[in-house]
């Protein structure tokens, strides 16, 4: 009789779990997509940056570490949450809940501190390029510290998280859910204190990152403005040399050179070439090497006779300035974008953890629509671990080209066609070689 009663209880529990799992099918589909995209994307980043691209060691080191960390986070965190969708109220064991919750939080905290160290590195590199930079040894030490700090700050999770009972009154059956197990008022106070400590730490780190990137962007903007002035000055110099020689004064070119802060020897050399060319030209001939002398902005107001404004050329100078800005600051924008997506991804998750921990049966009492929205917000942190490959693809043209080559090579192998002889692959040393 007792055995039959236990069987009935377990059947009711399975029925309840099936009902909850069906409600979570949309979120399960999203999680499966997360896992596929995260594994493929981060594996591609590791493979390409490690074996196919010649990247500066300081940039590659951080990118590879983040990709490996993201790969671990996607495999463990997304798989664990998918597992919970199908075993919502079935017995799982407290050890399973504690272990996977610990790893998920550890990867998040480690990522946060790694982003702070990256911001420090970019600040020193962009704002103080002539001062001593972080060595490879120090980078390894800082990344090791970030892992240790992540483990230490996540250690209380092993005490607060676990398996607790939930009850379905309609079926008169008890299930088991993973989450924050607040059994007593004392544990609730300790968990609140732990949440406050984590919150203060997160705010402090994010404020530090924000301040560092403020100065980084300020320095980048200053450099971009300087480059734009130089391009504008080059445009003016070309126009002066393209004007008739009788309208051109070599003193104007000297003013252009001195305006840039060049040495007197450099200015005299350029002026010497100008005078030679001027004496050799007759009538309305134009300087045959007009693009050879390219200096910076001219501050003199009385130049209307020699300078003719050409909007298309000016637009080209602006385009060149923008291209130079993004090319020279590519990695700063990559790491800044990663930081922004980290904040966007984790803020909704932290809010949902704080709200759901206050009510034991929070996830059981939601309507279907609210459940879908809240599940997406609660697990939005996973997006941070799969979005980075798209950021690299957007800002890094070399990475984008390598991904295209890998994809084309894979497609040719699948279809059985020969790879075209014009296809070029990049070797491990960074040199390109033809497939012929």
Q: Which of 389, 333, 428 is nearest to 63 (CA)?
A: 389
Q: Which pair of tokens denotes residue 12?
A: 């009711």
> Counting every residue, how long is the chain?
436
Global pTM reads 0.71
CATH code of the domain covering residue 101: 1.20.1070.10
Full pLDDT tens readout for the chain, 436 residues: 555 667 778 888 999 999 999 999 999 999 999 999 999 999 999 988 887 766 555 567 788 888 999 999 999 999 999 999 999 889 888 889 999 999 999 999 999 999 898 889 888 888 888 888 888 788 889 899 999 999 999 999 998 888 888 888 888 888 888 888 777 788 888 888 998 898 898 889 989 999 998 998 888 888 777 766 776 777 777 666 665 554 545 555 545 545 444 444 444 444 444 454 444 444 444 444 444 444 444 444 444 444 444 455 555 555 655 666 666 677 778 888 888 988 898 889 888 888 887 777 788 888 889 999 999 999 999 999 999 889 888 887 778 888 888 888 777 777 766 555 444 444 444 444 333 2
288 found inside a domain:
yes
| End position of a domain, from candidates 283, 306, 325 | 325
Same structural domain for residues 121 and 231?
Answer: no
State residue 230's pLDDT score.
73
DSSP string for 23-76? HTHHHHHHHHHHHHHHHHHHHHHHHIIIII----HHHHHHHHHHHHHHHHHIII
Q: Which of 176, 163, 161 is nearest to 16 (CA)?
A: 176
426 found inside a domain:
no
Q: Which of 194, 200, 127, 183 is nearest to 154 (CA)?
A: 194
Separation between Cα atoms, residue 84 and residue 293, nearest integer Å: 68
The counts of H helices and E strands in the chain are 16, 4
403 found inside a domain:
no
Same structural domain for residues 202 and 317?
Answer: no
Same structural domain for residues 200 and 227?
Answer: no
Same structural domain for residues 6 and 105?
Answer: yes
- With H, G, I as helix, E, B as strand and everything else as coil, classify residue 162: strand
416 found inside a domain:
no
286 found inside a domain:
yes
Separation between Cα atoms, residue 46 and residue 65, nearest integer Å: 9
Same structural domain for residues 296 and 358?
Answer: no
Q: Are 175 and 166 a contacting pair, CB within 8 Å?
A: yes
424 found inside a domain:
no
Estimate to the nearest angstrom the gap between the alpha carbon of 155 and the chain centroid.
27
DSSP string for 378-393? HTTHHHHTTSHHHHHH
DSSP state of 168: E
Alpha-carbon Rg for the chain, nearest whole angstrom, is 31
Same structural domain for residues 273 and 210?
Answer: no
Same structural domain for residues 123 and 162?
Answer: yes
Same structural domain for residues 315 and 366?
Answer: no
44-49 CB contacts, 8 Å cutoff, 24+ apart = 44/389, 44/403, 44/406, 45/388, 45/389, 45/392, 45/399, 46/71, 47/406, 48/399, 48/402, 48/403, 48/406, 49/399
- Look up the domain containing 273 and give its range: 223-325
- Domains held by the chain: number: 2
Same structural domain for residues 41 and 122?
Answer: yes
Taking CA 114 as the corner, what is the angle to CA 224 and CA 196, rounded to the nearest 5 degrees?
115
Please, what is the angle between helix 185-242 and helix 250-259, to 10°? 170
Separation between Cα atoms, residue 174 and residue 118, nearest integer Å: 48
Same structural domain for residues 207 and 96?
Answer: yes
33 found inside a domain:
yes
Tell me the backbone φ, ψ of residue 173, rounded to 5 degrees: -135, 150
Separation between Cα atoms, residue 227 and residue 231, nearest integer Å: 6
Separation between Cα atoms, residue 434 and residue 396, nearest integer Å: 22
Q: Which of 311, 275, 270 is nearest to 294 (CA)?
A: 270
284 found inside a domain:
yes
Same structural domain for residues 232 and 143?
Answer: no
Q: Which of 111, 176, 20 is nearest to 386 (CA)?
A: 111
């Amino acid at each position: 009789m007792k055995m039959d009663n236990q069987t009935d209880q377990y059947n009711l529990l399975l029925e309840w779990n099936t009902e909850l799992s069906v409600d979570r099918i949309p979120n399960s589909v999203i999680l499966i997509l997360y896992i596929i995209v995260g594994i493929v994307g981060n594996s591609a980043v590791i493979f390409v940056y490690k074996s196919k691209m010649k990247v500066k060691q300081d940039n590659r080191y951080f990118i590879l570490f983040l990709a490996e960390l993201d790969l671990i986070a996607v495999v463990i965190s997304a798989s664990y949450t998918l597992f919970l969708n199908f075993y919502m109220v079935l017995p799982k064991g407290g050890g399973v809940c504690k272990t996977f919750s610990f790893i998920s939080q550890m990867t998040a905290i480690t990522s946060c501190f790694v982003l702070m160290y990256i911001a420090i590195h970019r600040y020193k590199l962009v704002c103080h390029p002539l001062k001593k930079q972080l060595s490879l040894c120090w980078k390894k030490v800082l990344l090791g510290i970030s892992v240790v700090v992540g483990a230490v700050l996540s250690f209380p999770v092993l005490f607060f998280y676990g398996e607790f009972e939930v009850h379905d009154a309609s079926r008169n059956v008890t299930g088991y859910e993973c989450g924050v197990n607040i059994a007593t008022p004392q544990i609730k106070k300790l968990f609140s204190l732990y949440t406050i400590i984590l919150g203060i730490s997160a705010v402090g780190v994010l404020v530090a990152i924000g301040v560092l990137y403020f100065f980084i962007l300020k320095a980048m903007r200053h450099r971009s403005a300087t480059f734009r002035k130089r391009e504008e000055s080059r445009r003016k110099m070309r126009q002066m040399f393209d004007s008739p020689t009788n309208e051109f004064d070599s003193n104007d070119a000297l003013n252009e050179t001195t305006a840039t802060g060049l040495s007197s020897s450099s200015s005299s050399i350029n002026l010497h070439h100008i005078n030679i060319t001027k004496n050799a030209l007759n009538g309305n001939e134009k300087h045959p090497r007009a693009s050879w002398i390219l200096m910076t902005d001219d501050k003199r107001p009385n130049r209307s006779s020699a300078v003719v404004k050409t909007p298309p050329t000016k637009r080209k100078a602006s385009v060149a300035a923008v291209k130079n800005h993004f090319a020279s600051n590519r990695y700063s924008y990559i790491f800044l974008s990663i930081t922004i997506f980290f904040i966007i991804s984790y803020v909704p998750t932290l809010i949902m953890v704080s709200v759901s921990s206050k009510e034991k049966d929070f996830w059981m009492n939601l309507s279907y629509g609210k459940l879908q929205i809240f599940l997406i917000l609660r697990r939005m942190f996973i997006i941070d671990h799969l979005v980075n490959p798209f950021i690299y693809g957007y800002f890094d043209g070399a990475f984008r080209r390598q991904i295209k080559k890998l994809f084309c090579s894979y497609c040719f192998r699948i279809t059985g066609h020969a790879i075209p002889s014009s296809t070029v692959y990049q070797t491990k040393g960074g040199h390109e070689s033809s497939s012929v």
